Amino acid sequence: MSGTSGNLVSAAAALHCPHGGRASAAGSASSAVSVDGLPVHTGSDVFTVSGCRHTVDRVPQPCTAIRWSPAAGGVTVDGAPVLLHTTHAMCFSAGLVPQGRPLVTTAEQGVVCR
């Protein structure tokens, strides 16, 4: 592991663009790992944004997607890096214009190995 730490982003996480739009994984998370019964998101999941009210010069330019850039060498599930609340990500408009980092709210988690 490259020293990156943070809380896992599971299906329970609240994800928003910087303008208040709600983000969610398109389809369901495909992870074989779960936290509190909810799948953990990985870099292979696709996230869409709805309800963004961002405008530029009074022209709507809503965020429509989030792209994640997980660091190399981290924990993987089925070959895809897990997403942490600290993983670099960017919100984009439909025209692929970067519009700011998403807001990620996760619950504190503990890991128990048995």
Beta bridge partners of 14: 105
Structure tokens at 15: 């994800």
Residue 44 or residue 22, greater confidence: 22
CB atoms within 10 A of CB 112: 4
Domain ranges of the chain: 14-105
Burial class (CB in 10 A: 0-12, 13-18, 19+), 102: buried
Please enumerate in sequence order all residues whose Cβ is within 8 A of that of 3, keeping only pairs 6 or more positions apart, or say none. Answer: none
Q: What pLDDT was estimated at residue 113?
A: 27
Tell me: the pLDDT tens digits for 103-113?
999 866 554 32
- Band (2; pLDDT cuts 50, 70, 90): very low
Geometric angle at alpha carbon 16, from 34 and 77, rounded to 5°: 25
Tell me: the pLDDT tens digits for 40-86?
899 889 999 999 999 999 999 999 999 999 988 888 888 889 898 89
